[in-house]
Structure 1
Amino acid sequence: MRKVKFIFTALLAGGFYMAQAQQNAKPEDTEIYEPVPPKVTPGKIEYKSAPSDAIILFDGKNLDAWTSVDNGGPAQWTVGGGILTVKKGTGNIETKQKFNNYQLHIEWRVPANITGTGQARGNSGVFLASIGKGDAGYELQVLDNYENKTYTNGMAGSIYKQFVPLANPSLKPGEWQTYDVIWTAPTFNEDGSVKTPARATVIFNGVLVENNVTLLGPTQYIGKPSYSIKHGASPIKLQAHGDKSEPISFRNIWIREVR
């Protein structure tokens, strides 16, 4: 009995110290700076039309496929000239439709007149699965990293704070860039434990930067990731980061479901 009591007390103490450590965590605890991914000059980037079986999420005309994350109302970002641009103060947007496994194509552009440094230089994100308000979900980072140093697991092409990109094929601000993503959603057991973790492959401007990586859980700004939220099919979310740099634009967004 005394042995059982000791083990129980030890488990309680261990849980307490783990909770304390998480509570005292800082953003820089999970930042990686070395090694730096090699710079790669990508081939010519061309507008890639959607295949016949694709679901068009943005064709340059309207935001009918999107909704506001904050209030569930209409998405309020700006549409003009075939381009979707973050509108400051309106928050993140996400697709009305939910997805499990898919192939995603999305094009994005950092303004030519971008200012700021580090994470405050064209910051946005593509959440491959949105699982709540704010920045809850699995983020593929969007950032100007043409000549902008930051922590390597926060560069463009990174699975934010989890996987450093294999290369840096970033183009100059003002040029359109592309992500092609293969996403395999996580699955869960009845008790909420992970049955199979999420996986992602990312091709950035025609260059492989994430090779079927196994995610450790939803991405987090502070603390280590873990699968603490059981979920099913989820929307895709675009981030309005809220920093002072010029807003990011997107175009030509389509998806093919993989069954």
Structure 2
Amino acid sequence: MMNALPTPLMAICLALVVSTATAADPRSTDADAREVQKVAAATTSEKAAASEWVTIIGKEGASGVTGLGGNLVECQGVKIADDASHLKTIPGVGVVAASRKFAYGDDNNLNSVEHFADCEVVLEFVLGEGCNSGVKLQGRYEIQLYDSWGKEALSGVECGGVYPHWVSAKRGIKYIDEGVAPLRNASKKPGEWQTLRIVFQAPRFNSEGKKVENARFLKVTLNGELVQRDVEVDSPTGNTTDPLPEVEKGPLYLQMDHGAVAFRNVRVKPL
């Protein structure tokens, strides 16, 4: 009877046997290597895709904004108040909310830290009854957010519309065009979370800084339904008497001074 090999020596012998067997079947080695490479490539691709998105408001909070005004609340969630034009906030992080309408002004709005040219924007929002908000690409070109639940007559001031140009009037403002109405009313009820997705093409400039191509909303969906397709915007929407100059890159702007509104899961992917 052969004496048993010491345990360390036995381990070495087994390793040599496995190594020899693998070398004897190179096809197995190649297949294993290809499978490892395939998994590694898929993992790298997933990580790269995830890293392309810039988080403005995420589960960890509003890390991508320049600051929160005193009237804005960072919270975990919101629900409609007894006065349906207001929102109640739930303590925590992940959501930025304006519980009611505040005075107009930049202190009550949000700007992203990073500036973007061509990009895709995905976000969720909720509105109080009768409330108004907006998402401005480069701080200049606005997709309107509004309580448009159940409305049949649509214009650029309804949810999903490209906002009109206007001038100051004795009482408020006067629209000088109609903007671009959404293709359909895809709005949900006040107090319900809604999803907006925008694919935006920034204006183009030549080497001398002259604009040679207008900005475009290539595609906008609201709650999964197409509301805008390939809409050219020849100048910043809103006030035509004092418009911001058009630029190659600008911040994502979330309007929060026109009524009760909250945002969450706000992300931008440069294209």
Check whether TM > 0.5: yes
Q: Say which SS state the counterpart of residue 153 (structure 1) adopts.
A: coil
Are the counterparts in 1 of residues 134 and 254 from structure 2 also a CA contact under 8 Å?
yes
TM-superposition CA deviations, 1:92-130 (whole Å, max 9, x none): 21001000011110110013xx2xxxxxx2111100111
* RCO higher in structure (CA 8 A, sep ≥6): 1
Equivalent-residue separation in structure 2 for 1:219 and 1:250 (angstroms)? 22
Q: Would you say 1:181 and 2:184 are equivalent positions?
A: no
Tell me which residue corresponds to 1:70.
Answer: none
1:145 aligns with 2:133: no
The residue number in structure 2 matching 1:198 is: 215
| Structure 1 residue 191 displacement after superposition | 5.4
| 1:37-76 alignment runs, 5 A limit | 52-53=50-51, 54-67=53-66, 74-76=67-69
Matched, 1:216 2:225: no
Name the structure 1 match of 2:160: 157
Does the 8 Å contact 2:124/2:265 carry over to 1?
yes
Cα deviation, residue 194, structure 1? 2.2
CA contact (8 A) 1:60 1:79 kept: no
Q: What's the TM-score, normalizing by structure 1?
A: 0.64
Partner of 2:249: 233
SS at match of 1:154: coil
1:83 aligns with one of 74, 95, 104: 95
How far off its partner does 1:199 sit?
0.8
Contact 1:193 1:230 in 2 (8 A): no
Aligned-pair CA distance for 1:149:
7.1
Letter aligned with residue 141 of structure 2: Y
**Distance in 1 (alpha carbons) for counterparts of 2:269 and 2:127:** 26
Q: Distance in 1 between matches of 2:126 and 2:180?
A: 22
- Give the CA deviation at 1:185: 0.4
Identity of aligned residues (%): 26
Q: Which consecutive unaligned segments of at least 5 residues does structure 2 have?
A: 1-48, 77-93, 165-178
Please say if residues 154 and 181 of structure 2, whose CA atoms lie closer than 8 Å, have aligned partners that are also in contact: no
Q: Helix, strand or coil for the counterpart of 2:116?
A: coil
DSSP 3-state at the match of 2:238 = coil
Number of residue pairs matched by the alignment: 183
- Counterpart residue identity of residue 235, structure 2: G
Checking the alignment, whether the CA contact within 8 Å between 1:180 and 1:204 is kept in structure 2 is: yes
Q: In structure 2, what is the Cα distance between the partners aligned to 1:186 and 1:194?
A: 7
Residue 119 of structure 2 corresponds to which residue in structure 1?
102
Once superposed, what is the RMSD of the aligned Cα atoms?
Answer: 2.3
Shift of 1:145: 0.1
The answer to whether the 8 A contact 1:188-1:230 is kept is: no
Q: Distance in 1 between matches of 2:182 and 2:227?
A: 5
TM-score by length of 2: 0.62
The structure that is strand-richer by fraction is 2
How far did residue 65 of structure 1 move? 1.2
Deviation at 1:159, TM superposition (A): 0.8
Q: Contact between 2:56 and 2:267, CA under 8 Å: does it hold in 1?
A: yes
